[in-house]
Amino acid sequence: MALFERTGTEIAGMIRAGEVTAREVCEDALARMDTVNPAINAVVARDDDAARAAADAVDQARAAGQPLGLMAGVPVTTKENVDQAGFPTTNGLRVQKDQMAQTDNPVVANLKNAGAVIIGRTNTPAFSLRWFTRNSLRGHTLNPHNPAITPGGSSGGAGSATAAGIGTMGHGTDIGGSIRYPAYACGLQGLRPTLGRVAARNASGPDRHIGPQLMAVSGPHARSVADVAMTLEVMSTRSVEDPWHMAMPLRGLEYDKCAALCVRPEGLDTHPLVEAALRDAAASLIDAGWRIDEVESPPFRAPARLQAQLWMAEMERGAKKAVAAEADPDASHVLAEMYKLTAPPDLNGLLDALQARLGFAREWETFLARYPLLICPVSGEPPFPDLLDLEDFPRCMEAQLTQVGLPLMGLPGMSVFTGFGEGEAGHTPLGAQLIAGRYREDILLDAAAAIEARGPAVQVVTPG
């Protein structure tokens, strides 16, 4: 097995045991990027000398008998919408191509402090606004499994890179599915943590408005559940840069292995391939000793509507002007379609949305006290044909109901890989979404590990 095919936990163990050096791992990762990235355009910025220096520091620390961080020598990527010192935080925008970060976002600092070797920065759509990944600055990212389907978005570069073996973990952000959906589309394990679990802040720009503060999080894409767990532990390190951060235990109290299965939340027109993936995941959990009840989920539609209103409130405060200034055709189209579906709220509408959020959070927590785990679609459809939102935006929004609805409550969700199928655009990965209560990522990881152990393993894919 080539080094680039190994998981991050394997790489970290091999480096600690002296079976391989961090420099050798780094060179292998850079070579893999040279080989496959031209076909998928997942990594859009890199500093090979800095990566080599970080790897050499790990080797020097080991040779000196110094303690090594949890991810020492593990190659990873970061998304181009978080600050990393020495790189511009473009967020996929030409108008931000020179917005150079002077300091690291806490999520990046935590990776570095744990010894991870950052080998590149991954692509995102303009404004990180879509479930597809193309912009006028960095170009179009493709799915290494099948270029006819989306790699997801907005962390499509992270998902595509990780699936193709460019690093063992791809950092992503999620305000409306931007971790969960690329993991789904690229056949990975991807975790959206609880609001406050992972500290984040971009000092290169102003603080965000209340909607994103309540809903946006950073988290990992990886090819194994163990790698997701390892990276979450590292990302969760405390930072005073983020007042929302809570230093909560990574493992909570004992829980009943009782899960709810909802195939068609609130009438979602779930595709037969998606339903089969959900039932495969449920069957794996039954085999692992879980009890599964098929029930209706708590609300997604009203939270999704309120989530969209909070998005549009921020758009009215200045993002609409920024979209016009950027003049990215895709972003302009998506914003126009969003205005057709959701009117920006007035002050009373904004206050009503924030008030209603509390009630929905209470309803979800009450449900998850009875059922510690919910299994539901990541999307109502298999991964979309690429750029479908430019042809049929309402179809995409409807299929993504569970992506958009969940963040309003600040809950964690995980996309878990279940296998492959033949969708509208051909060969496609499939998966299921797992949801648990606040700060109960341990339940998600336990369930995902049980599904992973009973299903096909995630394999590195070579484009073409």
pLDDT for 320 equals 86
Active-site choice (178, 218, 236, 284)? 178
Measured CA to CA, the distance from residue 358 to residue 31 in angstroms comes to 49
For residue 47, the tally of other CB atoms under 10 A from its CB is: 16
Q: Give yes or no: 79 in active site.
A: yes
Characterize 256-290 residue by residue with b for buried, 16 or more Cβ atoms within 10 angstroms of its Cβ, and e for exposed: ebebbbbbbbbebebbebbeebbbbbbebbeeeeb
Q: What is the DSSP string of 174-187?
A: ESSSTTHHHHHHTT
Find, among 60, 61, 73, the residue nearest to 117 by Cα: 73
User: Residue 90 class from Cβ within 10 Å (0-12 exposed, 13-18 middle, 19+ buried)?
Assistant: buried
Q: Are 143 and 149 in contact (CB under 8 A)?
A: yes
pLDDT for 426 equals 96
Is residue 197 over pLDDT 90?
yes
Three-state SS for 377? Answer: coil
Characterize 452-462 residue by residue with b for buried, 16 or more Cβ atoms within 10 angstroms of its Cβ, and e for exposed: bebbeebebbe
Element (H, E) at 276: helix 272-287
Find, among 296, 42, 1, the residue nearest to 185 by Cα: 42
Is residue 359 over pLDDT 90?
yes
* Cis peptide preceding 154, ω within 30 of 0: yes
Q: In this structure, what are the phi and psi dihedrals at residue 223, rounded to the nearest 5 degrees?
A: -95, 0
Q: Are strands 413-423 and 189-192 parallel, antiparallel or unpaired?
A: antiparallel
Q: In this structure, what are the phi and psi dihedrals at residue 329, rounded to the nearest 5 degrees?
A: -60, -40
What percent of the chain stands above pLDDT 90? 97
Measured CA to CA, the distance from residue 336 to residue 288 in angstroms comes to 47
Look up tokens 């009117």; give the residue.
Answer: 343
Q: In this structure, what are the phi and psi dihedrals at residue 122, rounded to the nearest 5 degrees?
A: -105, 155
Measured CA to CA, the distance from residue 435 to residue 323 in angstroms comes to 33
For residue 61, the tally of other CB atoms under 10 A from its CB is: 17
Is residue 280 over pLDDT 90?
yes
Measured CA to CA, the distance from residue 333 to residue 41 in angstroms comes to 23
DSSP bridge pairs for 414: 191, 434
**Helix%, strand%, coil% for the chain, nearest 5:** 45, 15, 40
Digit-coded pLDDT (tens) for 28-84: 999 999 999 999 999 999 999 999 999 999 999 999 999 999 999 999 999 999 999
Q: Give yes or no: 155 in active site.
A: no
Q: Are 80 and 122 in contact (CB under 8 A)?
A: yes
Active-site choice (79, 155, 160, 415)? 79
Question: What sign results for the dihedral spanned by CA atoms 124, 129, 132, 136?
Answer: negative
For residue 443, the tally of other CB atoms under 10 A from its CB is: 23
> Please, which pLDDT band fits residue 208 given cuts at 50, 70 and 90?
very high
Measured CA to CA, the distance from residue 459 to residue 55 in angstroms comes to 25
Active-site choice (112, 128, 154, 297)? 154
> Please, which pLDDT band fits residue 134 given cuts at 50, 70 and 90?
very high
Is residue 136 over pLDDT 90?
yes
Q: Give yes or no: 178 in active site.
A: yes
Find, among 124, 108, 119, 128, the residue nearest to 231 by Cα: 108
For the full predicted model, state whether its pTM sits above 0.85: yes
Is residue 308 over pLDDT 90?
yes
Digit-coded pLDDT (tens) for 311-354: 999 888 878 899 999 999 999 999 999 999 998 999 999 999 99
Digit-coded pLDDT (tens) for 114-130: 999 999 999 999 999 99
Digit-coded pLDDT (tens) for 149-193: 999 999 999 999 999 999 999 999 999 999 999 999 999 999 999
**Triad 132, 169, 455: Cα angle to 5°:** 85
- Is CATH 3.40.50.1820 the right assignment for the domain spanning 3-453? no
